[in-house]
Chain A
Amino acid sequence: MSAEALREMFQVAAPSGAALITYATGCYPDRKRSAEVVRAMLAAGADAVEIGVPFSDPVMDGPVIQKTSVAALSAGATVDSVLDLLREVRGGTARPLLIMTYYNPVFRYGLERFAHRAHSAGADGLVVPDLPVEEMGPLKAACDSAGLATVAFCAPTTSPQRLGAAAAATTGFLYCVSQLGTTGARESLPPGLPGFLARVREHASCPIAVGVGISTPEQCREAAAMADGVIVGSALMKAVAETDGSLEPLSRLVSEMSEATHRPRERENHQQSVRGSGGAPWNAFL
């Protein structure tokens, strides 16, 4: 079952660090090579992969994922072809696989139909970035009935009250947007991140994963000391885009990120203040 697979992943990762969740635009560069990209990520140590159904108007995404989305759509990506890709990858892994896309493709496909087909293709969860908790009701109902985990979002601007509501709407993990802005590389993690994640912990007993703007193994290491999961997308898609066909640069980067995420520095200061002591803070959630 889907939410369980995610919980188990966080539990296994917790003693020494966090889980590494990678993103791949489905059918980028094309349907066949896209499956190789996802397999390479898993082989190099990704604990879970979000497979994106590209959308024509990705307002939460920066230049890299905008480009891979356009390219994937030109290569013929559809909801069905991405679900088919997920099914193929599922044949070779037991690790969690999620679908990430914007609301309109899901709405157009039919919420129930989408959730059921995604689940039967082997997806564990669904991540939709343009769906604040106020609008999540119908999709959450469809996911619940299909056995698909839901992922709600929070950001540094989210009020305590809405944090609580987001945590309540999530059955997978809470996606913490590290900073204001679209997806893509930043020079460093924002200085307010430890405070933001500490605030999230106060209001959410579910696992929390941090994403947006995390592009280097070092940033993964820092983030892993504060969260249960670290999400990386643009940096990996850039590695795929810039290669001449070899997936070696991607594999190397994922492997370094996996190493950094699974064993953040012991001396990391944030660890005590944010994570507290004595086991994963979301144990009560399980």
Chain B
Amino acid sequence: MIDAKKGYYGRFGGRFVPEPLMAALLELEEAFLEAKRDGAFTAESSRLRREYAGRPTPLYRADNMTRLLGGATVYLKREDLCHTGSHKLNNTLGQCLLARRMGKPRVIAETGAGQHGVACATAAALFSQECVVYMGEVDIERQAPNVSRMELLGAEVRPVGSGSRTLKDAINEALRDWVENVSGTHYCIGSVVGPHPFPGMVAEFQSVIGTEMLEQFLAAEGKMPDVLVACVGGGSNAMGMFAPFVGEGPLLMGVEAGGRGAAPGEHGATLGLGEVGVLHGAMSYLLQDGDGQVADTHSVSAGLDYPGVGPEHARMKEEGLATYTSASDGEALEAARFLARTEGILPALESAHAVAYAMRAAPGMRPGQSIVVCLSGRGDKDLETMKEHM
């Protein structure tokens, strides 16, 4: 049977891809379902998470930040301490393990900030897979340390010079590669975007963030947190952190890139300012013009510089299950500095958007209330950008 309802979150999601990719998507969906039922696969996944990635990552009560802000107690879920320096490895370990199981010797990936590229190159090295990472020329420039890391890990970084030369165009190029080499290649997509089954599969690999955090928080406070906050580009760290909390009470807050302002081309606030459309295989919100052409975006953080967003976020927004706001370039830079000086933690500029929201919200909350920030990555890669803006 041809099932047209597959992979939808309300009216969002689906599989809007060229026909040559459909067989690969169907194969992937089946392989993922099978793997989940296979005890050996799940055992290997959890062993790697524990012994290789360093999970569980800590949930840290940020007392200095709490004291200075006044109000709610601030906690940080330390995904920056996960191996490779961000939450991205949770997903790439899962997908590359799946690729090995499917007998695909080559993995490809797109990357914006380089965090997913590094995580994919790392997993590919671990499983002896050939790895090619597509990265926009603009991002190669502003995230140079990660380019070197990927190359040291044995991956080939292919510069993308088309379009806006950022994450969106890197995904286009990865999709073109996949169309051409589909039989021996797995496309290890880095966020909860793309055609079914990617959004659900990536969310599942990332749900370890929220599952761990729930347990850690209950042990620390004996109750549910009041607010969870995470940055949203495609939305994978947010989806992973929110997963066990959807409909359970806490306010779930996603923070998009407010960039330099609300004018077209100046931000990456897809859920805040976009409209429904189709890009990269899924129906979701999209920054676009009146004629359906995808708009340019801007963010100081390469990982949030993206005109689309995961379809499940689109559904959660429409159904009121999560709330989405934005933080500007300036707020994110300020938040990164603040966290570095108060807690000795230098966050990635992406994650700094979530920190910025906590700085805005915590003072207005009552003492005894709590806000948990997903600190999705560390900031070493952003030193150049931060220096420029100091």
Chain A interface (Cβ < 8 Å from any Cβ of B): 55-60, 62, 66, 70, 73, 78-79, 103-109, 129-135, 137, 153-159, 161-162, 165-166, 177, 180-182
Contact = CB atoms under 8 A, between A and B. Distances in A.
Given A57-B172, A134-B3, A157-B182, A177 B279 contact: no
A157 B294 CA distance: 29
Contacts of A79: 291-292
Given A157-B23, A161-B2, A59 B175 contact: yes
Given A130-B281, A177-B20, 7 more contacts: A56-B293, A103-B16, A105-B291, A129-B19, A132-B18, A154-B19, A166-B19
Given A107-B277, A135-B16, A162 B22 contact: yes
Most buried by B among A62, A106, A129, A181: A181
A108 B3 contact: no
A109 B292 contact: yes
B209 to A, nearest CB: 30
B20 A180 contact: yes
Nearest to B295: A56
B300 interface: no
B292 A60 contact: no
B15 interface: yes
Interface in B1-47: 2-4, 6, 14-20, 22-24, 26
Contacts of B277: 104, 107-108
A154 to B, nearest CB: 6
B374 interface: no
Contacts of B163: 56-57, 70
Most buried by B among A56, A79, A158, A159: A56
Nearest to B196: A134
A209 to B, nearest CB: 14
Contacts of A162: 2, 22
12 contacts: A59-B172, A66-B162, A70-B163, A104-B279, A130-B281, A132-B22, A133-B2, A135-B15, A137-B4, A165-B2, A177-B19, A180-B181
Nearest to A128: B16
Contacts of B106: none
Contacts of B175: 59
B20 A155 contact: yes
A78 B2 CA distance: 34
Interface of B: 2-4, 6, 14-20, 22-24, 26, 162-163, 168-169, 172, 175-176, 179-183, 277-281, 283, 286, 288, 290-294
Contacts of B23: 155, 157-159
Contacts of A59: 17-18, 172, 175-176, 179, 280
B165 to A, nearest CB: 12
A131 B22 CA distance: 10
Pick the 8 closest A-B CB pairs, nearest first.
A108-B292, A105-B292, A153-B19, A157-B23, A155-B20, A181-B180, A165-B2, A56-B293
B16 A131 contact: yes
A106 B26 CA distance: 26
Nearest to B5: A134
Overall SS of chain B's interface: mixed
A78 B290 CA distance: 10
A196 to B, nearest CB: 12
Given A133-B2, A157-B182, A104 B288 contact: yes
A130 B6 CA distance: 16
A276 B156 CA distance: 48
B2 A134 contact: yes
A132 B14 CA distance: 10
Contacts of A161: 2
A166 B18 CA distance: 13
Most buried by A among B163, B176, B286: B176
Contact of B168 (A57, A106, A165): A57
A186 to B, nearest CB: 11
B329 to A, nearest CB: 24
B19 A158 contact: yes
B172 A155 contact: no
Contacts of B180: 180-182
Contact of A180 (B172, B182, B283): B182
A41 B149 CA distance: 51
B22 A135 contact: no
A165 B176 CA distance: 25
Most buried by A among B6, B23, B290: B23
Nearest to B292: A108
A137 B8 CA distance: 15
B364 to A, nearest CB: 39
A16 to B, nearest CB: 30
B177 to A, nearest CB: 9
B256 to A, nearest CB: 20
Contacts of B280: 57, 59
Given A155-B20, A165-B2, A107 B293 contact: no
B199 to A, nearest CB: 15
Contacts of B22: 132, 134, 155, 157-158, 162
Nearest to A164: B2
A157 B281 CA distance: 18
A117 to B, nearest CB: 13
A165 B26 CA distance: 15
Contacts of A70: 162-163
A135 B14 contact: yes
B18 A130 contact: yes
Most buried by B among A59, A104, A153: A59
A105 B169 CA distance: 18
Contacts of A130: 16-18, 278, 281
A103 B278 contact: yes
A42 to B, nearest CB: 27
